[in-house]
Chain A
Amino acid sequence: MPSIIETHGLRKVYSNRKGEDVVAIESLDLTVGQPGTIHGFLGPNGSGKTTSIRCLLGLIRPTSGSATLFGADSTTAFHEVAHRVGAIVENPKLFPNFTAQRNLTLLADLAGVPKTEVARVMEVVGLTGRENDTFEAYSLGMKQRLAIAAALLKKPELLVLDEPANGLDPAGIAEMRVLIRSIAAEGTSVLVSSHQLAEIEQMCDEVTIIDRGKLVTTGLVDEVRRHAGPDSVVVSIADTNAAIQALATSGIGARPRPTPGELTVDVDATETAAVTKALADQGLYLTGLRSERATLENAFLNLTGNTAPPPPGSPAPTGDTPGPGLDGPPTAPPMARPPGANAPPAPAPNHEESA
């Protein structure tokens, strides 16, 4: 049985306005094989996620390599499997002056889907009762959900969502996460791209990380997270310099964090007693202590050799801050391209209508 998604050596080169070649994807190998899984497709803005998705959906032709969906070549035979694939590329695109009901009815008609399906998918995405509002009157979150409803009309086996959390507020992101989880629970495989690693980390079973068009790593979330290194402990204390020296005396490594009065201590969460003892022995008393779980973002930064600039005055994301559960608020900023990464992101191809 063929994989749901498979790419081999996928490469896409564009010409920019100056006629120079810009490599958007370089030899990308990607496999999504298990039905009902959520596969995160991660990378900074401009890393080639949307280009890869467009290749998968037959919207753009790869320069070389292959992309298949359910065994069908995306470039030449996507039409054979299009009824098995629901997709939203970049923004939700429906007719602004049509009502939600009319938009979906039109697409149902196009796909030969019974009109009764419209009510079902509206219920799945929680928009029942808002059928008669026009698309342009919807909030961004509602537009995203309606676009997902449209994609679900075909009862797809694979749902491809390109940055579905883009522009959503924390509540909207949480709703989206729950919705995607519930869709996957019904047996639909989901490929979801994002540059917000913390969001993906909370909902995906597998992830693929790409950077500047190249595959960085792929695997189960826990496997990939191992690349982030061990968990650590964050200590709040008045005199951080004295604390670093005191811990060093006990053979414990520590370094200051961007937030004044905080240290990252290189011990596992189970060894916090040693930290408190080492500090207390030197007459230093901590005012706070929490464990910090290794994140996908740390893994990404480690794997790419980059260092992320933390937002001024804000702590790095931690694993035990309140609420990173399914409904919790986001805990990490979007993946940033660090200052050291001097390669510019691949520019969007100049094929869109400019007028």
Chain B
Amino acid sequence: MVELAPGIALNLYLLGALGMAVGLIAGFSGVSGGYMLTPILMVMGMPAPLAVGSSVALMSANNLIGVIRHRRMGHLDLKMGLITAAGTMGGAEIGVRILHGLQGTEGRVADIVVLGVLILTLVLVGGSMLREVIRSSRTLGEDGQSAADEGEVHTAACDFLQGLTIFPHIRFTKSKLRISAWFVLAVGMGIGVLSGFLGIGGGFMLCPALIYLIGQPSTMAVGTNLLGLFVGLAFSTFRHGMLGNVELGVALSMLVATGAGTFIGAKGTSHVKGLAVRYVLAASVVCAIFGPVCTLLYFLSGAGAWDTAAKILTIALMIVPVSAVVTLLIMARRRVRGLEVAPWAARLMANGAQH
């Protein structure tokens, strides 16, 4: 147990187990998992500024691992990544300042505002993800290939933005596109504000934004997204460290657990289709909403039952995406070994999956 303040103690074993679960989902879905981590730390009793600071510190280290791996694989557009990073850094500074301003207010205003904005973000993102996943699974053809499963995506928004020749209109050779740097900077800045204020990495929003708004190919967007997020998160860690908002012991002990989970989860991604990854991501975002809602109700009403419900729901609902990932990993392993797999699982497995 780590005693943060009189009456506030964290169970490190429980945090380690939850960290591993977060890592498993994050590694499988290619996100940093902050939208699960911050609520977990808050539900476990950490005050909002400490939960946000520690979550950001943990994710900066976790994202660095992702950046190193994707650079080796060549999935990194350095030029676009650095412009996104400049945006996330600026945005993170704004987010940290807003949170610091709220810290000075009386009562649990900071906790309530952070949770409220987090819930709103998760509802909006989770809702749109669920809609997209349901649409994609309907269009899943008989050959098991979804129209929106892999490859480049061309939306009206990215065609429009690429058509606007506002200086500096830069050619990104690795991503094979030309767009004004201001749009890339603005996307990064928006995500940076959320990263500094809510302690979420924002990968579950930045990656789709790079694909659907900027028009970057999916494979390049994953690495570029991680670089942009890493710089923003490292800067947020620095700023939260300045304000004493980072619990280094908690962040480091959870890092080992999330690192191990990410390692196992990332291994499974190559065996499944993009749609399976999006199923898990949508389920994890939707499941992450209920715990913070109960905590928010506890802060507003003061009824202890909501606090208990928040703890139970946060842990219980983690089981949904974790068991989905574990089941898919087991099915992928069976398929690689030439054993029989369930028909629903076979539809979600990548063609020509290898070890």
A interacts with B:
no
Binding site for A on B (CB under 8 A): none
